[in-house]
Amino acid sequence: MRAWFLAVPLVVYLAVFLVFPVGEAVRLAFTDSVSGTFPSLESFRTIADDGLFWRALRVNLALPLLAVALELVAGLGLALLFAERLPARRLLRAAVLLPFALPEIVFLTILRSILTPRGYLSGALVGLGAQPVDLLAPGTFASFVSVALVDAWRTTPLVFLILLGALVAIPGEIGQAARVDGASAWRRFWHVTLPLLRPAIVAAVLLRGLDALRIFAAPLVLTGVEGMPVLSTYAFHQWSDYGDDGAAAAASVVLAVVCVLASVPLLRRRITA
C-alpha cells in the first residue's frame, strides 16, 4: 500500500509555511536593508549597536528562569492542594484553570489595569493605608518581576495539570508504607513524592521553558516595546516602528538560535526515552 501520500499535504504545507519562512528570515538577516547586498552583516551590526537589543537579550534569558521557577513552585503547591479532599472540587479547579482559559490578550490587558500606578492594586494598597506602587515603571527590576509574575500566573495551570496528573498516579500504598515506617509528612514529600514526580517536573520545565523563551505579548502589553524588551518585542519594534526588515529578521534569528540551543536537552531526552 502506498499510504505515504496521506502525509504529503501536511508535509508540503509545513515546507512552505515553516521551512521556507525560516530560510527567508536567514536571508533577510544577512541582507543589507539599505543596499540589498547579500551576504552582509550590516543588520547584525545595526542591532549590536543598539543598547535596546542587548537589554532585550539579557531580559529574554533571565525572564524564563524566573517565570518557570515561579510556575513550578505554584503549580506544585496547587497540585498538592488539589490532591487533598476538597469540597466543590470541580468549581475550585475551574477557577484555578481560569487564567489560562481566558484569551491571553484579555488577561494581559486587565492585568495592566491592575498593575498601573493608578490601578486596582495601588488602590487596594492605599485603602489599606500604604503607598501606591508603580510596578510597571520602564526598565526597573519591579517591572521585570511583574512581567514574570503575570506570565507565571497565566501559565501555572498548565504546570498544575501536568503535576496533578502525575501526583494522583502515585499509588497511595507508597505513602502509607512510608507513614507506617514513621516518616513525617515533610520527609514523605521530600523523599517519596518529589522523586516520583521528577519525570513530570522535568517535562513541565522543558515545555514551559521553551515556551517562555518566545514570550511576546506579556512584556509588550504590560510595558510597551521599551519598558521590558525581549527579543520578540525587539524584532517587532524594528519591523513596525523602523520598517527595518533586516534588523527584525536578525533579532529573530538570534532568538531562534537561542531556542534551538535550549531545545537540545529536550531532543536528547526524546532520543534516549
Partner 1 sequence: MKRRGIVLLAFAIAGVNLVPLWLVVKQALTPERESFAWPPTWVPHELTLSNFSGAAEAVPLAQGLGLSVGVAVATVISTLALSLPAAWLAARREEVGSRLDGVVVAARLFPTIAIAVPLAVIFVGLGLYNDSSGAGLWLAHTLLGVPFAFLILRAAFRGVPAELEDAAQLDGASPWMTFVRVSLPLVRPSLGAAAMLVFLVSWDEFAYALLLQVTHRTLPPLLFYLSAFGYPGLSSAVAVLMLVPAVVILLLLEPALRSGVLAGSGR
Q: 59-88: which residues touch partner 1 (CB under 8 A)?
A: 78, 81-82, 84, 86-87
Question: Which of 48, 65, 123, 176 touches partner 1 by CB under 8 A?
Answer: 123
Question: Which of 40, 54, 183, 263 touches partner 1 by CB under 8 A?
Answer: 263
Question: Which residue's entry shows cell 521556507?
Answer: 20
- The answer to the question of residue 164 lying near partner 1 (CB under 8 A) is yes
The answer to whether the CB of 61 falls within 8 A of the CB of 54 is: no
- Shortest approach of partner 1 to residue 48 CB, angstroms? 18
- Shortest approach of partner 1 to residue 72 CB, angstroms? 16
- The answer to the question of residue 166 lying near partner 1 (CB under 8 A) is yes
- The answer to the question of residue 126 lying near partner 1 (CB under 8 A) is yes
Please give the distance of CA 20 from its chain centroid, rounded to a whole number: 26
- The answer to the question of residue 193 lying near partner 1 (CB under 8 A) is no
> What is the three-class DSSP state of 143?
helix
From 37-45, 139-147, 176-184, 220-228, span contacting partner 1 (CB under 8 A):
220-228
From 42-50, 94-102, 138-146, 171-179, span contacting partner 1 (CB under 8 A):
94-102
The answer to whether the CB of 256 falls within 8 A of the CB of 25 is: yes
- The answer to the question of residue 245 lying near partner 1 (CB under 8 A) is yes
- Shortest approach of partner 1 to residue 162 CB, angstroms? 8
Which 19-58 positions form the footprint of partner 1 (CB under 8 A)?
Answer: 20-22, 24-25, 28
Question: Which of 51, 127, 171, 172 touches partner 1 by CB under 8 A?
Answer: 127
Question: Which of 40, 50, 52, 112 touches partner 1 by CB under 8 A?
Answer: 112
From 40-48, 49-57, 188-196, 253-261, span contacting partner 1 (CB under 8 A):
253-261
3-state SS of 151-213 is HHHHHHHHHHHHHHHHHHHCCHHHHHHHHHCCCCHHHHHHHHHHHHHHHHHHHHHHHHHHHHH
Please give the distance of CA 34 from its chain centroid, rounded to a whole number: 35
Distance CA(120)–CA(134), nearest Å, equals: 11
**128-to-44, 107, 113, 120, 132 alpha-carbon distances in Å:** 50, 25, 19, 12, 10
The answer to whether the CB of 208 falls within 8 A of the CB of 220 is: no
- The answer to the question of residue 9 lying near partner 1 (CB under 8 A) is yes
